[in-house]
Every structure is written in structure tokens, then in C-alpha cells.
Copies of this chain bind each other. A is one copy, B any other.
Amino acid sequence: MAKNDLFLRACRREPVPYTPVWFMRQAGRYQPEYRAIREKYSLLEICRQPELAATVTLLPVRQLGVDAAILFSDIMIPLSGVGVEFEIRESVGPVVHRPIRTLAQVEALRPLEPEESLPYVLEAIRILRRELEVPLIGFAGAPFTLASYLVEGRPSRSYTNTKAMMYRAPEVWQALMDRLTEMVVTYARAQVRAGAEAIQIFDSWVGALAPEDYRTYVLPYMQRLFAGLRDLGVPVIHFGVGTGALLELMREAGGDVIGVDWRVPLDQAWQRIGYDRAVQGNLDPALLLAPPEVLAERTRAILRQAGGRPGHIFNLGHGVLPETPPDALRRVVEIVHTATAAG
């Protein structure tokens, strides 16, 4: 069977026979098979064993019939390669043992050598490329989102320490963002060399910033990041949550595809981003808990908003929730494929 490359063609805004679909966190707690594996291994243990990471990555691909796979990993993983000690604490999230607050701490971060410190990531990618019949997406956290974990030391609602560093110690912030930008570029390039066919950059928490702060403290690094990936020739997806007021700036920052959440209607989002970029999104993950007819109607509403224009990749606006019935995801895949093939 020829490989299904609809996802890659949609990223390049080429016409496709039907709209491709995948789901952020399509491998995860909502799957009984994943929960069984997690009874034996921690999240980081799965990430660090290439065969296991590959198995988990593959789980949803055939089960759901999605048009792309995304490497099972965590945005914190590359930080272990630059000298950051952290853990993923159950029902909390990433906890960094010594939050970064000083220039000395930033300067102590080592350059990333992915082949040395993250061989398991690259090996998982190589295994997956042999197994997969759909494109493999690699990924990395964006510098702001990674910095927010490093500076806060754990998930935050207000990002007080991160913003305080931006305003009060811009030289520390700049040094940190410089290092993280370099790390992300190195990491993403290594993933592509190992076989990743697209890269998604998760700037998940950047929606906490006022547009003016994004422009000053984030945009220059993001531009450098996307410039550093351009010659690879693979599509790059630029995603964030709650970025309704940042879409124009995210476009300016870069990315072939802009990922949007459900807070902005997709038609408005695409118009603001510009039709010279592809868009990915944007069903509220909570709608997967809705009755079938509500879910179907809202899925079709997003397809109508996309307007049959080439360059739409269907996805959720954020990761699959643990409470999600797998059947609901299967139904969405079927609706997206059928409705757009007929259209």
C-alpha cells in the first residue's frame, strides 16, 4: 500500500482528496492499552525506551485511522540533555528541581548533543519510520513554554516568576531564550535527520502574554527558531492555546501551519492568519464527551468554516482529555474523511 501523505500535502496547502486528521495526545490516558503500559512504566520511562515509545506512538494510528502519527514523548525531554533535573509528577506535571532564576544557572546549561544525550528519541523515530504508513510528526516545546517550566519550576496559572524575569532581568531572560532557541533548533533538526517528516512546535502557554510582550520577549526567538528549520524542507506547525489575540504575531513568527484552539472560530482565525498558511484545528476536546449528534454537528461546523480550502488539517484545539471515549475519536475521523471527500 502506498503511504498516506495527505497530512504532508495539506501542510503544503496542496489539494487533497479529503481533509487529513490527527489528534494532539492521540496516545494517552484515554486508551486502556496505554493505561496498562503506564501501570508498569512511568511516562519518562516510556519516552526513554525506543521500542516502548514506538509502540505507544503506534497504538492510536490504526485504532483511530488518523492521517499522521506524533512521536510519543514529552516537551521536557530535551531539557534532560542540557543539564536540567526534573520529574513528571502524577496529577501535577513537570517539576524542575532547581528553578532557573539567575544568569549563572542559564550559563550552566550545556549545548544539546541529541545523538549523545537523547539517542532513544532518535531510535524511536527510526523504528517508527519503518512501521508507519502515515507521516511521522516530531515535536518540541517552544522557548517561552519551556522557559515557563524552568523559571516557575512547575505548571503555573499566572506565570508570575517568568514574567518578572522578562521585565526585571531581561539579560537573564534573553540568555535563557537564546539557549532554549538553540536547543529546540538542534533537537528538531536531529529529529528530522532521524526521519521525522514534520515538526510541531508547542508554544502551549504563550497565550498568557499580552501581544506587546509577545512581540518584545518571544517573537525574535521564534523567528530565529523557524529560520533555523527552514532548509530542512519539512512542514513546521506552530501551535499555542488561548492565542486569540496573538494569531497575527504567530504568523509573523513563522510556521507553515498555525495551530489554533477552539476559542476562535476557524474561519476568523484563518482569515487573520492569512490563506498563504495552512491551519490546524480546532475542536474543543470536551466535545468528544458530547452525544454523537452534537459531536458530529460541531465537527461539520469546523469543516464548513474551513470552506474546502486546501491547507486545513483537522485536529482538536488541545490534547485529548483522559475521559474521552475512543469511539468518539474514531467517529470524528470518519466524519472528517467522509464529509470532505463528498464535498
This chain: copies in complex: 2
Chain A, range 278-294, C-beta contacts under 8 Å to B: 284-287, 289-291, 294
- Contact residue among B164, B263, B290 (Cβ-Cβ distance under 8 Å from A323): B164
A141 at the interface (CB under 8 A from B): no
Contact flag A168-B264 (CB < 8 Å), given A158-B321, A163-B284, A244-B245 = no
Q: Nearest chain-B residue to A268 (Cβ)?
A: B245
Chain B positions within 8 Å of A291 at CB level: 167-168
4 interchain residue pairs of minimum CB distance: A167-B290, A163-B286, A244-B244, A164-B289
- Give residues in A with beta carbon < 8 Å to B: 158-160, 163-164, 167-168, 207-213, 242, 244-246, 262-265, 268, 284-287, 289-291, 294, 298, 301, 321, 323
Q: List 15 A-B contacts (CB under 8 A).
A: A159-B286, A160-B321, A163-B284, A164-B289, A164-B290, A164-B323, A167-B289, A168-B289, A168-B290, A207-B242, A210-B265, A211-B265, A242-B242, A245-B263, A245-B265
Determine if A207 and B158 form an interchain contact, defined as CB atoms under 8 angstroms apart: no
Determine if A263 and B286 form an interchain contact, defined as CB atoms under 8 angstroms apart: no
Question: In angstroms, how far is the closest chain B Cβ from the Cβ of A318?
Answer: 8
CA distance A160 to B291 in the complex (A): 14
Chain B positions within 8 Å of A301 at CB level: 212
Q: Nearest chain-B residue to A294 (Cβ)?
A: B167
Contact flag A213-B167 (CB < 8 Å), given A263-B207, A263-B242, A263-B245 = no
Contact flag A167-B286 (CB < 8 Å), given A242-B263, A245-B264, A263-B245 = yes
Q: Nearest chain-B residue to A291 (Cβ)?
A: B168
Contact flag A263-B164 (CB < 8 Å), given A244-B245, A286-B159 = no
Chain B positions within 8 Å of A286 at CB level: 158-160, 163-164, 167
Chain B positions within 8 Å of A164 at CB level: 286, 289-290, 323
Chain B positions within 8 Å of A268 at CB level: 245
Q: Nearest chain-B residue to A214 (Cβ)?
A: B263
CA distance A211 to B164 in the complex (A): 32
Question: In angstroms, how far is the closest chain B Cβ from the Cβ of A158?
Answer: 6
Determine if B242 and A284 form an interchain contact, defined as CB atoms under 8 angstroms apart: no
Chain B positions within 8 Å of A265 at CB level: 210-212, 245
CA distance A321 to B157 in the complex (A): 11
CA distance A168 to B289 in the complex (A): 8
Chain B positions within 8 Å of A290 at CB level: 164, 167-168
A158-B286, A164-B290, A242-B263 given; 11 more Cβ-contact pairs under 8 Å:
A163-B284, A164-B286, A168-B289, A168-B291, A207-B242, A207-B263, A209-B263, A210-B265, A212-B265, A244-B263, A245-B263
Chain B positions within 8 Å of A321 at CB level: 158, 160
Q: Nearest chain-B residue to A213 (Cβ)?
A: B284
Question: In angstroms, how far is the closest chain B Cβ from the Cβ of A314?
Answer: 15
CA distance A213 to B298 in the complex (A): 10
Chain B positions within 8 Å of A289 at CB level: 160, 163-164, 167-168
Chain B positions within 8 Å of A242 at CB level: 207, 242, 263
CA distance A140 to B207 in the complex (A): 27
